[in-house]
Structure 1
Amino acid sequence: MRKESLSQLVEVLHSKYEQCTYIAQLTFFQIVYVVSGSGFLHINNNKISYQEGNLMLLTPNDEYRFEVVCPTEFLLVKFARKYVRDASREDVNCLECVLYHAPHVLGCVLKNKPDEPIVKHIAQALIHEIANNDVYSKEAILHFVNALIAVTARNLTKMKSEHIQANADSRIHSIIDYIQTNIYIPEKLRANVIAQKFNLSETYLGTYFKRESGETLSSFITQYKLRLIEHKLKFSDMRINEIVAEFKFSDESHLNKFFKKHKGISLTKFRRD
């Protein structure tokens, strides 16, 4: 397997593919915007369809390849971890943590409809600057890259909780990042463990989380877990027993009961519909 690396902090490529690519492993972040075409993104043993207008985010250590169905035009924005750390701003909370949330997201990360034309315009501007390489093109490219990263982070943040305000206390974002990072490790998601991690009493943690997010801690964990399971059922080729193992359920029956209790439908019917 080929391991991809960067020779600089940021690299922007406008590429066209007519055939499938090789399997590669990243050592950096990569935003993929589909200018045209369709096919599948194979990432970490998941198979996800893509089409024109999709925005996808790959993170360090991801293994991926593109399965091109219709000739595809990509805008690839690659940036190093150091660039994310150095570029973090007050208007994007825990930017690196937000971007690291991406491995749990399958498919297009554009969930905020008004951002779709913004991303399209940013992509067109980047393609223009790459093609023309005019005076101050380098500075303009970095400006547009920063805008694209911010919009991507905004969409990922909106997936955390619909009720969290942009000016919410920074600690709630840290708690949510911790939950998302450890979503596959049930013992780390117990209220007493989270409370100890953030130097809070267990009682206050519950009150604080509800006040800042608009939902209970247990509800957030459950709904986030359900969202991931839904994505895997709809957009990946993972078998149910693999999902069981990943989320540490005791068996398929346990997972099915959990899913049916909250969604009112069985796993197989949800995947089929």
Structure 2
Amino acid sequence: MKRNMQHELLTVQVVETNQWSYPVHNHNHFELILIRTGSGQHIINGNRFAYQAGDIFFLGHLDSHYFLIDKMTCFCCLSFTELYMTGLTTPGTDGWLQIKERALTTSRQLVGSIVTDRIEQQNLNALVDILLTEQKNHRPLISNQIVEALMKTILSLIDRQLAQQQGLNSSTVSAASLMQRIGVYICQHITMPDHLRMEKMADVFNYSQSHLSALFKQQAGESINQYIIRYKLQLVETRLRLSSMTISQIADEFGFTDICHLNKLFKRYYQTTPTEYRRSLFVPARVRNAYLQSSFR
């Protein structure tokens, strides 16, 4: 069997043909194949699957495949190596567990397209179209922050689909990835209270409100609301130390109802009010340290 070797970390290309010219083969990389138009059959590890426009196939290192084309087909192929994927993973996390597992095992289960939901198919196609636009405009795919952000989203979507395909509970398969994405989202929207409402976050991460709350608390040991409050107060404390903003301005920046609301929460965690905390910054170090030792509980 021929082995298709890819030396580039990441490639994306579109091919329209009425005859598949490659013999049965496997890869040294991962391959996401999006069917834009056409129909035919996709033979994966000896299993035969009918394909049509909208189908999305994902192949690991050991998956062998080829196509039998019935109707002129437009293939969009996104290929990336495990080294590239590892470079996108945050240190200390498990990353995309199902994708990595795909590299180590031949997929013998009778599953064709990994995405059947039309909206999910459209989302993945839209993300890949942006990659194609970057390439068309002669921008490098490597060391490109936009491409890296797109690929992280694409990999997360693939990982979720593979987890669902295998009938696994997403809370155990990609909990670390979910927590990472929630943390990034909160950081990006910390001054936008409407974006941090539970109903909005549940919609963003495609979970019910109760399920998302339970998953977060299970992993973090506190509720999402508690996490957001702690994070806001850490930023408030930084503003008090390093900026000349008034307490009213700080309260408004982070969406507190009013100064009283901020005072109440700040005192709960720091055992002092924002005004008293700021005053403490101008007293001798031995007194100031007493305030600083009042850390979050």
Give the TM-score taking structure 1 as reference length. Answer: 0.53
Q: Trace 1:221-236 onto structure 2 (pairs within 5 A).
A: none
What pairs with 1:1-273 in structure 2 (closer than 5 Å)?
1-23=1-23, 24-89=25-90, 90=93, 92-100=95-103, 103=107, 104=109, 106-111=111-116, 114-134=119-139, 138=142, 139=144, 140-161=146-167, 163-165=169-171
The change in CA–CA distance for 1:88 and 1:36 in structure 2 (over 3 A counts) is: same
Cα separation, partners in 2 of 1:158 and 1:43, compared to 1, 3 Å = closer
Task: Give deviations 1:190-219, integer Å, cap 9, x for gaps.
Answer: xxxxxxxxxxxxxxxxxxxxxx9xxxxxxx
What is the aligned residue count?
170
Amino acid paired to 1:126: L
In 2, Cα distance between equivalents of 1:132 and 1:153: 29
Alignment check: 8 A CA contact 1:112 1:155 kept: no
**CA deviation vs aligned residue, 1:78-127 (integer Å, no higher than 9, x gap):** 11122233333448552543544782352110155542221121132223
Q: CA shift at 1:4, angstroms? A: 0.8
Q: Tell me the equivalent position of 1:268.
A: none
Q: What is the CA distance between 1:145 and its match in structure 2?
A: 3.0
Q: 1:123 to 1:165 in 2, by over 3 A?
A: same
Whole-angstrom distance in 1 between the partners of 2:28 and 2:174: 32
Q: For 2:11 and 2:83, locate their aligned partners in 1 and report how far apart those are by CA, in whole Å.
A: 13
Tell me, in whole angstroms, the C-alpha distance in 1 between the residues paired with 2:141 and 2:18. Answer: 29
Identity %: 17
Distance 2:98 2:165 in 1: 14
| 1:84–1:95 CA contact under 8 A, matched in 2 | no
- Deviation, 1:37, is 1.3
Q: CA RMSD in A?
A: 3.0
Kept in 1, the 8 Å contact 2:43–2:49? The answer is yes
CA gap of 1:78–1:137, structure 2 versus 1, over 3 A, is: closer
Instruction: Tell me the CA shift for residue 27 of structure 1.
Output: 1.6
Deviation by residue 1:147-189 (Cα, 9 ceiling, x = unmatched):
222211111112344654268877xxxxxxxxxxxxxxxxxxx
Higher CA-based Rg: 2
Separation in 2 of the partners of 1:94 and 1:46? 24
Unaligned runs of 5+ residues in structure 1 are 171-211, 213-273
Question: Secondary structure, in 3 states, of the residue corresponding to 2:113?
Answer: coil
Query: 2:42 aligns to what SS in structure 1?
Result: strand
Cα separation, 2, equivalents of 1:126 and 1:108: 21
In 1: Cα distance, 2:125 partner to 2:11 partner:
19
Which amino acid counterpart does residue 94 of structure 1 have in structure 2? L
Amino acid of the residue matched to residue 21 of structure 1? Answer: S
1:123–1:28 distance in 2 versus 1, CA, 3 Å: same
Alignment TM-score, normalising by the size of structure 2: 0.49
Do the aligned residues in 2 keep the contact of 1:98 with 1:157 (CA within 8 Å)?
Answer: no
**Structure 2 residue identity aligned to 1:22:** Y
CA 1:130–1:18: 2 relative to 1, 3 Å: farther
